[in-house]
Amino acid sequence: MPAVSKGDGMRGLAVFISDIRNCKSKEAEIKRINKELANIRSKFKGDKALDGYSKKKYVCKLLFIFLLGHDIDFGHMEAVNLLSSNKYTEKQIGYLFISVLVNSNSELIRLINNAIKNDLSSRNPTFMCLALHCIANVGSREMAEAFASEIPRILVAGDTMDSVKQSAALCLLRLYKTSPDLVLMGEWTSRVVHLLNDQHMGVVTAAISLITCLSQKNPDEFKTCVSLAVSRLSRIVSSASTDLQDYTYYFVPAPWLSCKLLRLLQCYPPPEDGAVKGRLVECLETILNKAQEPPKSKKVQHSNAKNAILFEAISLIIHYDSEPNLLVRACNQLGQFLQHRETNLRYLALESMCTLASSEFSHEAVKTHIETVINALKTERDVSVRQRAADLLYAMCDRSNAKQIVAEMLSYLETADYSIREEMVLKVAILAEKYAVDYSWYVDTILNLIRIAGDYVSEEVWYRVIQIVINRDDVQGYAAKTVFEALQAPACHENMVKVGGYILGEFGNLIAGDPRSSPLVQFNLLHSKFHLCSVPTRALLLSAYIKFINLFPETKATIQEVLRCDSQIRNSDVELQQRAVEYLKLSSIASTDVLATVLEEMPPFPERESSILAKLKKKKGPGAVSVTELDDSKREAGELNGGADRGPDTAAMAASNASTPSPSADLLGIRSAAPVGAAQTNAGSLLVDVFSDSGPAAPSAAVNDDGFLSSAPPSEDPAPPLSEADELLNKFVCKNNGVLFENQLLQIGIKSEYRQNLGRMYLFYGNKTSVQFASFSTTVSCPGELQAQLNVQSKPVEPLVEGGAQIQQVLNIECITDFCDAPLLNIKFRYGGALQNLTLKLPVTINKFFQPTEMSSSDFFQRWKQLSQPQQEAQKIFKANHSMDTEVLKAKLLGLGTALLDNIDPNPENYVCAGVIQTKGQQIGCLLRLEPNAQAQMYRLTLRCSKDTVSKRLCELLAQQF
Amino acid sequence: MIKFVLMVNRQGQTRLSRYYHSVELSRRAALEADVVRYCLSRKKDQCSFVEYKDFKLVYRQYAALYIVVGITDSENELSIYELVHNFVEVLDKYFSRVIMFNLDRVHIILDEIIQNGHIVETNKSRILAPLTTIDKMVDS
């Protein structure tokens, strides 16, 4: 064993480090470090040229200081000098410093590149490795430009040393990741794939990382790697090979390489070639068999290494999802691990079983372990393991065991770790809805959920229970009775009060026959909670009260009394005050008929995807909820909502309520358009006032204005949109920033950003004249249907815009559901006394809510096929209006918001994109294919989306762009 | 992919950190402190894999020293867990004294095992090859 610090050891460094180690406090450490930094600085600046050894020593100290977490802002030049040293130790420290400290945009890169070039051509393997390593660590664009063509050659050259090949493989991988356009594999492909056959295991280990990455991007070009990987794996697993060298770890042959090979195979579907497949199945069986054999060593390292391979093999089996026999064996094996004494194994077993549960072949086998999993949920001492158990219960749940699982999860919730409660609540809510056979069970479950974990019950959950109760008249009476009972508890959660208020307000009459729950008793019960609640809940309760007046005329006097008291009618909160005043007025002015019409029972909600599921998906990120599960729940939701019969007119009315209520809205829907529309004819202008939104939402404010301003001169009405408004809109389909409009007086610039279903738009109004604009005002409105589809909120702008000045306005945009029209922006101001009135379309188009989706070729075509209903596709063939240049097209397609997918379409001329449109309640998957025909100067554009209206709209929008 | 490797002592001081994706220096300290707190607070009978933000931590304790590896979903937890052990065994084989004095060499060793977030070599004698060369050069 070499005694390390002899000869080469740097004494000064050792002393410094031991000083630091002896520092008793952070302050002392900092003091010592500052002293050292000053010393090094003076040495570097000194007149005396430093020899290599001292340079190395000081650079090393700097490195150490950096690793302790202090910023280093000098010494880079000295490190670069060390690179050109001929002494390995000096060079090595130089490279280490550069790799650790230099970021990719440093100006030093050019100097470093020079040193690297020399080392690469030195033919000294250790120097070459250092250089390659450095390129891989820094990985800048400049380095890629300088070396990307050189490295594949080094990688596959026959005379390259093994260790150099290893570094070259990972170096190339890094460059491919940072600058894929510069790494052209073409001619090297086959030779790189054949590295899997390299006799040196280290080379295979390194190369496989590269090949895995390349295969994910270009599966077709690299598919020959499958058979090579299988034969390599087979040789390792059967231990028949003599090339294991020293790669055996605690009697397990090449565990890391085996894992990587199995991982690589997961990039591909099962091999088509029968012989290859046979060999692979044999391998997988051998791995499963080995798990049952007595261990060759008692050391934990042995079993860990063996199990690492086993878990990877099981992942592959699950990925293939085509061998029932292997799937069931995998499940049994995992079942054994569930009771293993090693926590790590139990954790991993729960995790992989979770994916196994979604396979039709093994779902039943997984279910047999339900008792063990429930036990794990109750007894595991580690929250992350319990979390896995909860995930698995969720995954294995179906109609047969839903009641048991939901009950167990509910009882677990009482003691669950805070960090996972919210997710647990969502899961319980989803399962309860998905597998509800009788809805009284569903209502009980959700109310229990609120009782046990009210704080973690998000709006989506309680909105949903109300939607379901409204839509199913067979459960309304039961729901009313149950919430009534639940509200009896001396302390009940505010969410319970919300649900209670809503349900009693709608269906209190169903239990009013019982003297124990007479109207007044119900009212008093609700009102006893009133003072403990927050403003939004109080607002909801006030709405419930007015509904009571309609349901039970005998409560009118009592309720009016309550509304009339100072704490309501003079409440400092505007919303509450307004409600109290308006409801009081409404109840005293309106006739019973009017009251009955206005306060009619809520129409059923239209069927749609559960917002809870959407929330869970968002929480867990994509992929956590499988597609089948989604479809499932859609179907179930359909059943749920379908139960209520709706005439076409109520459906239309309900459509405007379709959106998930926005956070501030309450579910009574009084604020939404349908009841207003119904009421307007009867009750005239008073009701418009009563029911219009008091919030800052622009659209309804506009309605208000119109009502009041009817006597104003006609020129004050918003002008009709400019004739060129559509053209202006089209300019912004593929970009987010730019000048929207300009005339001699005014320039309007736009900057916008979008995330998920939300967007923020900055409007810049520039006064191009030297004269002040007076009474400057802007209104954003969503005409017609758009009102329910898009929510645009704006803040008012300053009424004066000085000459030459610019003012800014921020709009917050929320996409509720997909839409076709664009919101209108009306601008009015006085310029030299003359009223200017201008209406533009705001460039908010559905594609702004795209999230790009990367996918492999096989995924793409699978999804393409899934979207094969004729109405899901929209196609247009049109003449090119703009340049057909590749880069221009690419930029436009990227600007569209989708991911531009390479190497998907067999014809390289074609463009293929994929993305998901995020709306509040829904995600709409979209696939796009653009086929240019340069000769004819034509395009064919095809869109397939999970929603037909979206395909059409996108097709219209895009046809203008190319 | 492996995101980072940390060696920390029981007091939470970082003794070695190697990042395979770029993290700003200012955020490193916070990340390290957070990660360490996470791991130190766990008991022996708890699982060695912890979900942390959008990646997973695999950690292993050797007396007062903790080695923590941050990985993405595409890595196999157990194999990383054993990779840590392999690394420690190599350190054991090479060093006779406190490794802190030879951080540069620890770096060399780590770089031989992991490059750019990928496992590159697992054979002990090949991992030590560059250091052996250095030592020979010094001896002669």
Q: Annotate A283-334 with three-state secondary structure.
A: HHHHHHHHHHCCCCCCCHHHHHHHHHHHHHHHHHHHHHCCCHHHHHHHHHHH
Interface pTM (ipTM) of the complex? 0.92
Q: Does A718 have pLDDT greater than 70? A: no
Residue A672 has pLDDT above 70, yes or no: no
Task: Give residue for tokens 């300019």.
Answer: A731
CB atoms within 10 A of CB B44: 7
* Of the partner residues A170, A259, A346, the one whose CB lies closest to the CB of residue B79: A259
3-class secondary-structure state, position A604: coil
Q: Is residue B124 within 8 Å of residue B93, measured between CB atoms?
A: yes
Which is more confidently placed, A660 or A838?
Answer: A838
Give the tokens for residue A145. 């430009």
Strands (E), A68-218: none
C-beta atoms of B32 and A260 within 8 A: no
H helices present in B50-123, as ranges:
77-94, 103-113
Nearest CB to B76; choose among A63, A104, A259: A259
Residue A752 confidence class, pLDDT cut points 50, 70, 90 = confident
Binned at pLDDT 50, 70 and 90, residue A609 comes out as low
Look at residue A716 in the predicted model and tell me its pLDDT: 54
Block residue for tokens 């202008």: A685
How far is CA A398 from each of CA A434, A944, A957, rounded to the nearest angstrom? Answer: 9, 32, 43
Q: Are A364 and A332 in contact (CB under 8 A)?
A: no
The backbone torsions φ and ψ at residue B58, rounded to the nearest 5 degrees and listed phi first, read -115, 125
pLDDT tens profile A146-183: 898 889 999 988 888 999 999 999 999 999 988 888 88
The least confident of A235-239, A369-373, B94-98 is B94-98
Q: Do A103 and B22 touch (CB under 8 A)?
A: yes
The confidence score (pLDDT) of residue B36 equals 85
In this predicted structure, which of A208-222, A722-736, A903-917 has the lowest mean pLDDT?
Answer: A722-736
CB-based burial of residue A430 (10 Å sphere; 0-12 exposed, 13-18 middle, 19+ buried)? buried
Which of A883, A937, A662 lies closest to A793 in space, CA to CA?
Answer: A662
B16/A contact by beta carbon, under 8 A: yes
> B37 and B107 in contact (C-beta within 8 Å)?
no
Asked if A166 contacts B121 with a C-beta cutoff of 8 angstroms, the reply is yes
Binding residues of A, by number, are 11-12, 43, 53, 57-61
Mutant choice from A343, A381, A386 vs B, greatest count of B C-beta within 10 A: A343
Sign of CA dihedral A500, A504, A510, A511: positive
CA distance A260 to A205: 8
Residue A200 forms contact with B (CB below 8 Å): no
Walk along chain B (140 residues) in steps of 10 and give the mean pLDDT of each run.
Answer: 90 84 80 85 86 88 90 93 94 75 80 91 89 75
pLDDT for position A620: 58
3-state secondary structure of A652: helix
Interchain CB contact of A263 with B (< 8 Å): yes
Average pLDDT over residues A834-857: 84
Contact in structure between A63 and A79 (CB atoms under 8 Å): no
- Neighbouring CB atoms inside 10 A of A538's CB total 23
CA-based nearest distance A309→chain B, Å: 8
Report the pLDDT averaged over residues A684-695. 34
Confidence at residue A538, expressed as pLDDT on a 0 to 100 scale:
92
What is the overall mean pLDDT for chain A? 81
B93 Cβ under 8 Å from any chain A Cβ: yes
pLDDT at A394 over 90: yes
Span of A747-751, A842-846, B99-103 with lowest mean pLDDT: B99-103
Residue A228 to residues A154, A223, A252, A261, A262: CA-CA distances in angstroms?
Answer: 22, 10, 21, 10, 12
For tokens 């074609």, what's the residue? A910
pLDDT value at residue A184: 82
Mean per-residue pLDDT, A423-444: 88
* A423 Cα to chain B: minimum distance (Å): 15
Contacts of A343 in chain B (CB under 8 A): 45-48
Q: How far is B65 from chain A (nearest CA, A)?
A: 15
Q: Which sign does the torsion angle of CA A198, A200, A201, A204 carry?
A: negative
> Closest-CA residue in chain B for A71?
B25
Judging contacts by C-beta atoms under 8 Å, the chain B residues touching residue A263 are 74, 76
Q: Above 70 in pLDDT, residue A2? A: no
- The verdict on A352 touching B (C-beta cutoff 8 Å) is no
**CA angle, A475 as apex, A470 and A478 as ends, to 5°?**
120
**Quick check: B52 and B38 in contact, CB under 8 A?**
yes
Owner of token pair 């005002």: A777
Chain A residues 640-679 with a CB less than 8 Å from chain B: none
Q: Please check whether residue B40 touches A, CB under 8 A.
A: no
Q: Are B138 and A6 within 8 A, CB to CB?
A: yes
Q: Quick one: pLDDT band at residue A856, thresholds 50, 70, 90?
A: confident
Per DSSP, helices labelled H in A357-401 are: 363-367, 370-379, 383-396
Chain A residues within 8 A of B102 when measuring between CB atoms: 4-5
Q: CA nearest A165: which of A200, A139, A190, A193?
A: A200
* Whole-number Å distance between alpha carbons of A31 and A16: 12
Its pTM stands at 0.64
Mean pLDDT of the region A296-305: 91
User: Exposed/middle/buried for B140, CB within 10 Å: 0-12, 13-18, 19+?
Assistant: exposed
pLDDT computed for residue A131 by the predictor:
92
Residue A873's pLDDT band, with cuts at 50, 70 and 90, is confident
Instruction: Give the H/E segment covering residue A40.
Output: helix A26-45
CA atoms within 13 A on the CB side of A279: 18
3-state helix, strand, coil in chain B (%, to 5): 45, 25, 25
A69, B29: Cβ pair inside 8 Å? yes
How does DSSP classify residue A554?
G
A616 versus A685: the higher-pLDDT residue is A616
Residue A49 DSSP code: P
For residue B115, give the nearest of A6, A133, A256 by CB distance.
Answer: A133
Q: Are A368 and A334 in contact (CB under 8 A)?
A: no
Least confident of A92-106, A259-273, A406-420, B9-23: A92-106
Q: Within 10 Å of residue A113's Cβ, how many Cβ atoms?
A: 20
Is the pLDDT assigned to residue A703 strictly greater than 60? no
What CA–CA distance (Å, rounded) separates A698 from A48? Answer: 73
Copy the structure tokens of residue A114.
């020079």
Give the number of other Cβ atoms within 10 Å of residue A608's Cβ: 18
**Is A166 near chain B, with CB under 8 Å?**
yes
Select from B47, B103, B116 the Cβ nearest to the Cβ of A170.
B116
Calculate the dihedral angle through the C-alpha atoms of A496, A498, A499, A504, rounding to the nearest 10 degrees.
Answer: 110
CB of B9 less than 8 A from some CB of A:
no
Say whether residue A72 is in contact with chain B using an 8 A CB cutoff: no
Q: Residue A822: pLDDT above 50?
A: yes
What pLDDT is recorded for position A666?
Answer: 40
Token pair 């020129």: residue: A715
Please indicate if any CB of chain A lies within 8 Å of the CB of B108: yes
Containing B119, the helix (H) or strand (E) segment is strand B118-119
Distance of alpha carbon A67 from the chain centroid? 34
pLDDT at A697 > cutoff 60? no
Report whether pLDDT(A492) > 60. yes
The answer to whether A2 contacts B137, with C-beta atoms less than 8 Å apart, is no
Which residues from chain B sit within 8 angstroms of residue A129, using beta carbons? 130
CB-based contact B126 A63, cutoff 8 Å: no
Question: With contact defined as beta carbons under 8 Å apart, do A753 and A760 qualify?
Answer: yes
Question: What is d(CA B116, CA B109) in angstroms, rounded to the nearest whole number?
Answer: 14
The Cα–Cα gap between A150 and A64 comes to: 33
8 A C-beta contact, residue B76 and residue A311: yes
A723 has a chain B CB within 8 A of its CB: no
Average pLDDT of span A894-909? 81
pLDDT at A502: 92
Q: Can you read off the two tokens belonging to residue A515?
A: 């003297």
Of A313, A281, A200, the C-alpha closest to A246 is: A200
Testing the interface with A: which of B19, B22, B47 to mutate, by most A Cβ within 10 A?
Answer: B47
- Alpha-carbon gap, residue A487 to A245, rounded angstroms: 73
Return the H-helix or E-strand segment holding A78.
helix A76-83
Which element (helix H / strand E) includes A760? strand A758-767
Q: Would you call A438 an interface residue with chain B, using a CB distance cutoff of 8 Å? A: no
As given in the structure block, the two tokens for residue B39 are 């791991």
Instruction: Examine the pLDDT at A709 and tell me if it is beyond 80.
Output: no
Report helix, strand and coil shares of chain A as percent, to nearest 5: 60, 10, 30
Q: Does B72 touch chain A (CB under 8 A)?
A: no
3-state secondary structure of A529: helix
- Interchain proximity A170–B29, CB inside 8 Å: no
**Chain A residues within an 8 Å CB radius of B97:** 4-5
Length reported for chain A: 962
**What DSSP string runs through A688-736?**
HHHHS--SSBHHHHHHHHHHHGGGS-GGGSPPPPPTTHHHHHHHTSS-S
Say yes or no for a CB contact (<8 Å) between A17 and B105: no
Mean pLDDT on A218-222? 90
Distance of alpha carbon A183 from alpha carbon A180, whole angstroms: 5
State phi, psi for A748 to the nearest 5 degrees. -120, 120
Q: Which residues of B touch A136 (CB under 8 A)?
A: 115-116
Question: Can you read off the two tokens belonging to residue A356?
Answer: 């196994």
